Each structure stands twice: as structure tokens, then as C-alpha cells.
Structure 1
Amino acid sequence: MKVIVEELHARGHQVSVVRPKDSWDIKETSPFYTSITIDMEGVYDEDFAKTFISRLLTILRRGKKSAWTRFQIEKEYIQKASEMHQTNCKILEYMFENKDLMQSLQDAKYDLVLTDPVMPSGAIFAHYLSLPLVFNVRWTSHGEGHLKIAPSPLSYVPLPGAQLSDKMNFVERIINILTFAFSEFAIRNYITPHYDGLLENYLGPGVDYMSLFQAADLWLMRVDFVFEFPRPTMPNVVYMGGFQCKPAKPLPQDLEDFVQSSGEQGVIIMSLGTMVGELPHDLADEIAAAFAQLPQKVIWRHKGDRPATLCNNTLLVDWMPQNDLLGHAKTKVFISHGGTNGIYEAIYHGVPIIGLPLIFDQSDNLFKMEVRGAAKIINIFTMTKDILLKCIEEVLHEPSYRTNMQRLSRLHRDTPMKPLDSAIFWIEFVMRHKGAAHLCTDSYRMPWYSYHSVDVMLFLIAFVFVTLLTFATFVKCLCSRVCVRRKMKSD
């Protein structure tokens, strides 16, 4: 969101950002926006994130890869999601009851609400303030962004978490449908019930939770079909996958010196994202031992104690200019947890990936890259020094990985308009026209049986049945009369 907010500011727009007082990723003061700080603790602070992720990693490491582990992980996701939405409802209620705040929001005469629908707050306030609604989206509070607005045939649209491609056999289609059923069960029982009372109290009766999302004017989808599998879409969906990517800038001098010291062998960079504070010591030692046997230099974003097996070819850093390193000519391989930002930056710069997925959608993301021949996945919880070393050498020396990634890079860049420019154009389009109703379908207002034409099919079946029955009765009567006449003649 920060990238879009800064670009809107650069084009002369005034942006107000609503944030809880303890937000760790949205600063209270900024030259790019004005803060509206809510005097309550947020849904997703830094301690919550670290504790939650640490818990997930413990389950994964203890259970390895099994159906029971998957069940425990899904249970943990559902419990935490339920807690987050419960807290979010308290914040929304606090805001609605703050009459001065609500009056100030109404008096400000905003042009639109821009929000990430992973939480429904923005959609709820857009409805309350009668403002056009634009989503910056990949995920909503009830799953992947397309699922509630675009046709999503489960025969070839794989569900997040299923780790399936768009070419599924019979068994895989069963798995996909079961994944969908489980997801729908969790949403309807652990997420939407939190909002029922709140919506009725503050938005009035008849306001449906899902319709708040489906009524959005515009969906800025952080998706590029170079990365995602093809699927149906809608006119009010604008694709801007990789919008945050940009040409590499020069590295700081100390980092540039280290990179140049790699010579012809080049550099490998490794990052597991901002959420993972540190790895278990034994796992970090295995990784460092594998790096020690490489002729390449390694830059590793690592927090925690220095691994005992670390060699002088590996530089540990608390933070790295990831985009600039990926764009450096000497970077050979990117070892990543599979976050979408890092994957798009790797695609943009044409750097093959070694994936160490941990949580959330990371396994799915890396699976898509592996299917395209641009990545190799390792199970980090069963990984040893030798497994990692063998994988690195394969990606380094098998040309197809880099060739495939560079092909994806060419496809990704070959667009008539940069993704960020496209996103800003459509935001301003909605502002100019006070919405984009002509792009939106009202299909979500239809009952399910009308949407799927069940009533039409039943009517046609009934019509055919009645017609056939009438015809059969007519033939039967006709035959009876013929038989009677023949009998009378014979008598």
C-alpha cells in the first residue's frame, strides 16, 4: 500500500490513513499522508505476528509433513483469524461510537476509499460513508480475491493451499473441491458471524457481509498471469502484479565491494522475509555449512546468533536492498521463503529461485514457479547441508532455470503500461467518475439458484417432461381408438 500512497501523493492527491495507535508497519507521521490514529490496539501488531509465526514454525518442524500437521496448521490459522476479526470488530465499534470521528470523516468529503480487503474495515466504512471503493488486493478476509466476484470453476481453478496447477486429474479435482468446502465452512463459521451484529447495528438490516466486497467499484489485483494460472475474470478487475518492481539502484559501497569480490562466480542472496525473526540454531548451522562449501559469495538476511558453521564467504545482514541485489549483474540465485513481493522482484530481474516455503501462501507461490521451471523447492524442515548444497548447484549449473526465469521476465515487462501507472490511472478514473458502476455486475444480488440457472433448468426439464407425457398420453389415446375401431370392424 505504501508504494501506491507515495505515488498518489506525488501526483498531488491528499491521502488520509486510518491506523491503530500501536501499528508497527504504518507510521503515525509521514510526508506522504495524514494519519487518523485510533486510540485502540490493532489487530496485527509486531508481537502478535512474531508469536503466531513462531508457533506455526514449531508445529511444522515437530510434525514434518503429514496430514495431521496440515490439520494442526489449518486449525491454528482459523483460531488466529477468528481472534483477529473479533478484535477488528471491537475497533470498528469503537470508531462508530466515536461521533466526532465519524462526523469528521463525513465532513472531509473524500473521493474514495482505498483499502486492502484482507480485513473488511475499509469496505464497511466505504458503505457507511457512501464512497466509491477500490481494493488493493490479493487476499480478502474470505480467501483469494477472485473467488467471490469472478466465475471460478473448480475443474481448472486451483484453490489456495491445494498446491495444484490448472491441469488437474480426477483425484486432484476431488482435493480441490474438498479444499473449497473446508474453506467455505471455516469462513461461514469463524469469520462472518463476528460481523453480523455490527453490520445490522451500524449499516442497517439487510446488509450482507459478502456483498460489501462484491459491490466494490474496482479491484486492483496484485496478480500477473506470468505467475498465476489462467482463470476467468471481470471487467472491474485491473491486474498490477509486480507494481512495486523497479530498476536496480547502485548498492551501498561496502555491499558493492563484497559483491565485486565474488569475481566470476557471482553472488547468492538469501532472505526469508521480515516476519521470520530467526531460524532454529541447528537449521541455521546446516544452511551456513552448505554456504561454506560454495565458491560463490552469499549475502544472507539473518537475525539471531551467528551460526557456528559460518564461513567468510557469507555476509550476514539485518536488512538488505533486495530489489537492488536481485538486479545486480553478479546475482546468480535467490533463496527465498516465497513471499509474493520477492517472487515478483525475482521475475522482474530474471533471477531463478530456490524456495524454502514456511507458512501462508508461500508453498503455493513457489509451486507455481516450480511448474514453470524457474524454481526448485526444498522442505526446510527436513533439509540438511547436503540437500541444500545439491539444490544450489543444480540451479546454478542447469541453464534451464535461468532461461525459464528470463523468459518470464520478458513476458512480465512486455506491457503497454507499467503496472503502477495502470493502478493510479484506474484509481483516478474512479475519482473522476464517482465510481465505476458500468464495470460492475449485479450478479451477486441473484440467489444461488438463479445465478447457476437451476430454476431455468428445472423449468426446461419440467416442460420437456410435461410435453413428452402429453405426447405419450395422446399417442396412447390414439392407439386405443384405433384398436377399438378395428375390434368393432372385426365384430
Structure 2
Amino acid sequence: MKSFSNQRRLTMIGLFLALSVFALSCSGGKVLVYPVDGSHWVNMKVLIEEMHTRGHSITVIRPNSSWYIADNSPFYSSITIPDEMNEFEDFWDEYLWKTLEKERGHSSALSFLELQADLFSMLSKAHHLGCNMLSFILEDKKLVKKLKDERYDLVLTDPAIAGGVVLAHYLKLPLVLNVRWTASGEGHLLIAPSPLSYVPLPGTGNTNKMSFSQRVRNILFHSFTFIMNRYVVDPHYDVLIEKYLDEKKDIVSLMQAADLWLMRVDFVFEFPRPTMPNVVYMGGFQCKPSKPLPQDLEAFAQSSGDHGFIIMSLGTLVKSLPMDMTNEIAATFASLPQKVIWRHLGPRPSTVGNNTLIVEWMPQNDLLGHSKIKAFVAHGGTNGVQEAIYHGVPILGMPLFFDQFDNLIRVQEKGAGIILRLSEINGFGQALRELVSNASYRTDMQRISRLHRDQPMRPLDTAIFWIEHVMRHKGAKHLRSEFYNMSWYSYHSVDVFLVLLGVFAVFVFTTVAIIRYVCCRICCKRKLKKE
């Protein structure tokens, strides 16, 4: 009888909790999504699909030359805008090959400067085209009226290209950012205090334990980034803001005014640092349990026996490496007892072994979750690193550009992987054997995986809760600091220090004047007495 009573009590508690979740849910909101293409869309699509399953209506603004964002989808309706982003298809290949030449030590100081100039030119052009796309939207009065008449609950955007930020302010809608990178760099740098003594800037290769020379590098890099943003990126948005917005602020202030920052990292991956109340961490939100492999891949994986298998993928942008490097990698794979599944789109290497399966596409998440997986050879993109953390698979990282080296620095610092620069490709075999044979790498990665999974809610559920929170309350001003409305001298209390310094100077001057006056009077009296 007592057991039945306890069971009934537990049932009632479960029913109450279920009802409370429904009570907190946000019924059928309307969300306008302004995404960024490429790998950024992979993240955004996860949020869109989850919001759709919870009854929200999603509208996605997409360019007509989009690589990945489909025009027709069961999860969202789309608004397609003419653009010129297809001009970047050739740029990536050219930039990749120049980067490879630099990494392999075939570059001079002049070629390095040319590479940086190419990068700045690309960034400037990307933001210019993004601003042109937004300008096309805002000049189309019928489209603007349609967007206003829809009465969206919020704008969800990726601020790496910040057109969606400007659009949210134009429509006067709450703004939620799906972010790691902004138009001005890493997201934290805009929203949270970032002491350069222990917060490493992306691109420096520093950790949170910096020597004096590394701190100097950190500060110089910060200055360089500020100048690049001010003169390469910001001017494109200044024109838009001047033309279309009532509030005359720069793009940085508009991003800082966002209601919510959904940050695509967590502190299992990121170095500890100051943060803010409206920053919500959802690192690994796109990760999920593995599904059964296709029959041919499963048979190949099982054929690896006790040795297991390794997978290699360098991301969607890298179709292949130079043939001599490809042959070096293939020969190393052929010498291993493990089986290898390699995503490679270039010519077939002449040194490929019978243990290596070359594919054009692989179910990466499902392979990483397989019981026989031993290692992941990767370029260090955020999605792949997060999936490896989720499944506890050590990484041999071969970074190429952007955030990849910094992502892998965080993995290596935690003992869960090895970084191999392309200039060190001759050591590929040694590094891979070390990763597979030394159990400490897998042990450390599995420890990180346990920490990542030990959360009260799934990261995806956390992200959706806070999106719905913004819907329910028409924004999240209660979480947002007003520092972005302050001038730089007020934020750093320069004006206060100057006033206090002035008061102190007046006090000192007055005190000295009084003392001199008193001393003079005393001296005068003494002279009179002597006379």
C-alpha cells in the first residue's frame, strides 16, 4: 500500500512538471531568420528545425546564389533575394592554395602580406555584398511592408555578416544572435569584459596562460584587429545605418544592443573568462547520438576488428590537398593496422592502401559515435570539434585558416589532441600513431565528453528555452547591460578620473598657496620685529 502511494505521488509530481513545461512554452511564435551561408547555416538549420517541431513559424531570408540554404523546405518558408555571393566560389580555392604554400614554407614576407591583403579584400567584399543585399530588401517597399505586416516576434541572425542586425533594428524587433563570430571578431570581445592578460585573442595561438611576450602579442593583435574592423568592415555598415536607421550608431553598438547572445561554445571547450547575463552557452547543441551506419560502411567498420578505424575530413571548403601531400597521407594510412575512411574529392592517390576507403561524403556524426572509432583527422572547424568532444574521439588537427588553429589549441591544451601544421606533413605518421597508441588522448577527450554531457538540460533545449523567453517577454532588456550606450571615456571612467584629478590638483594648489601665504606672513612679521 505504501509502495502504491509513493508511486502515485511520483506520478503526480511527473504530471505537474510536464504541465509546468507546457505552461512555460511559447505558443506558435513567428521568427524571421537572417542566416549566413556555408558551415554557419549547418548550425542555424538545427535551431530552425527544432523551433519548427515546437510549433513556431519560421521565415528565412536567403540569397539566390546560396550554397546550402534551400529555397523550399518543410521547416520554413523562404524569401529569396538577388545577390552576387557566387563570386566567392573561385576565391576560396585560390585563397586555400595560397595558404597551403605559406604553411609549407614556400612563402616570403611579401607573399604573406599579399595573403593578408587578399583576406582583407575578401572580408571587405563579403560585407559589401551583404550590405547590398540588405539595401535591396529595404528599398523594396512591398517587401518591407510584408515584413512589417507579418508582426514577427523576433529576428534570429548570425552576426558574422551583420545585415540581419541592421534589419532587426530597422523593423524594431527583439534581436537574438546565433553567434561565435561577429563582423568585428569573436563574439565575447564585443559583449563581455575581456582582459588581454588572460583572454587570448583568436589568431594569436595563445592560451589563457600567457608569457610576457605572448601578452605583448595579444595586445598588438588586438590593436591590429581594431584597425582592420574600423577601416575594412565598419564603413560598409556606416553607410547603411546612416541611410536607413533613425539611431545613428555604429554596427558594433547595434550588435551590443542584441537581447540575447546564443554562444556556440561552452566552458568545457572555451577558456574560462568573464561573461554577461544575456550570453547563453549552447556549445555542441548540434550534436546528437549516432544512428546506424549504411550497410556498406558498417561492414567496412566491422572488418577493422580490434584495431578499429580512423576517419579523415578537412571540411566542406577543402576538396583536396596538393598531390605530394595527399600521397604522403595515403602512404601513412596504408601502413596502419587500422581501417581508414577518408573524405577526399581530388584525384585518387597513387599510394592508397587496401585498408583505406575514399568517399565523397561521410555521415561524420554517426562514424564518430561508432564503437570502433579510434581517431579523427580534422581541419579544426567548430562543428567537427564539437562532435568529436560529444563522442569522446581524440583529434589529429591539421588547421588551414580562420578559427581552426584556435579551436585545436583548446583541444590540445586539454590533452585531447595533437596539432600538426601542414609544414610538418612529414611527421603525419608519427603524430597519428602517437594519437592512436597513447591512451591518454582518448582518456582526456572522454573526460571532456563527460563534462560536456553533464548538464541539467541539452544545449539545444537551453537555446530554444531562451529564444522562447525573448518571445514571451518581447525582448530581454532585463538581461542587457547598458554599457553599449556609453561613450568610451565614460565606460572606462576617464571623465571621472580627470575630474578627480582636477579636484586633487585644485586641493594641492590651494593647500600649497595657503601654506606659502602663511609662511610669507610669518616671515614678514619676523622681519618687522627685527627692525
| Bin for the TM-score computed over the shorter chain | over 0.9
TM-score, normalised to structure 1's length?
A: 0.95
- Check if 1:343 corresponds to 2:378: no
Cα offset, 1:53, TM superposition? 4.2
Q: Deviations over 1:97-145 (max 9, x none)?
A: 2111111111111111001011111111111111110000000111111
Amino acid at match of 1:94: F
Q: State the distance in 1 between where 2:515 and 2:254 align.
A: 56
* Match of residue 250 from structure 1: 292
Q: State the distance in 2 between where 1:175 and 1:70 align.
A: 18
Cα offset, 1:466, TM superposition? 1.7
Q: Deviations over 1:182-226 (max 9, x none)?
A: 111111111111222222222246242222111111000001111
Q: Structure 1 residues 85, 54: closer, same or farther in 2, change over 3 A? A: same
SS for the counterpart of 1:435 is: coil
Correspondences of 1:119-138 after superposition (within 5 Å): 119-138=161-180
Correspondences of 1:308-457 after superposition (within 5 Å): 308-384=350-426, 387-457=427-497
SS for the counterpart of 1:244 is: coil
CA contact (8 A) 1:59 1:72 kept: no
* Match of residue 205 from structure 2: 163
CA contact (8 A) 2:394 2:441 kept: yes
* Match of residue 24 from structure 2: none
Unaligned stretches of 5+ in structure 2?
A: 1-43
* Match of residue 480 from structure 1: 520
CA contact (8 A) 2:100 2:400 kept: no
* Match of residue 97 from structure 1: 139
- Check if 1:141 corresponds to 2:177: no
- Check if 1:12 corresponds to 2:50: no
Q: Structure 1 residues 474, 265: closer, same or farther in 2, change over 3 A? A: same
Correspondences of 1:118-267 after superposition (within 5 Å): 118-204=160-246, 206-267=248-309
CA contact (8 A) 2:278 2:479 kept: yes
Q: Structure 1 residues 408, 52: closer, same or farther in 2, change over 3 A? A: same
Q: Structure 1 residues 205, 138: closer, same or farther in 2, change over 3 A? A: closer
Q: Structure 1 residues 318, 247: closer, same or farther in 2, change over 3 A? A: same
SS for the counterpart of 1:192 is: helix
Q: State the distance in 1 between where 2:459 and 2:407 align.
A: 20
Q: Structure 1 residues 56, 424: closer, same or farther in 2, change over 3 A? A: farther
Q: Structure 1 residues 66, 326: closer, same or farther in 2, change over 3 A? A: farther
TM-score, normalised to structure 2's length?
A: 0.88
CA contact (8 A) 2:103 2:421 kept: no
Q: State the distance in 2 between where 1:66 and 1:135 align.
A: 40
Unaligned stretches of 5+ in structure 1?
A: none
Amino acid at match of 2:453: R
CA contact (8 A) 1:268 1:335 kept: yes
* Match of residue 278 from structure 1: 320
Using the aligned pairs only, state the percent identity: 56
- Check if 1:466 corresponds to 2:506: yes
**More displaced, 236-245 or 368-377?**
368-377
Q: Structure 1 residues 160, 402: closer, same or farther in 2, change over 3 A? A: same
* Match of residue 67 from structure 2: 24
- Check if 1:36 corresponds to 2:88: no
CA contact (8 A) 1:332 1:351 kept: yes
CA contact (8 A) 2:308 2:338 kept: yes
Q: State the distance in 2 between where 1:12 and 1:42 align.
A: 34
CA contact (8 A) 2:65 2:86 kept: no
SS for the counterpart of 2:336 is: coil
Q: State the distance in 2 between where 1:479 and 1:455 align.
A: 36
Q: State the distance in 1 between where 2:153 and 2:289 align.
A: 32
**More displaced, 360-369 or 193-202?**
193-202
Q: Structure 1 residues 347, 64: closer, same or farther in 2, change over 3 A? A: farther
SS for the counterpart of 1:335 is: strand
Q: 2:115 aligns with which of 55, 60, 73?
A: 73
Q: Deviations over 1:236-286 (max 9, x none)?
A: 110001101111111112111111111111111111011101111111100
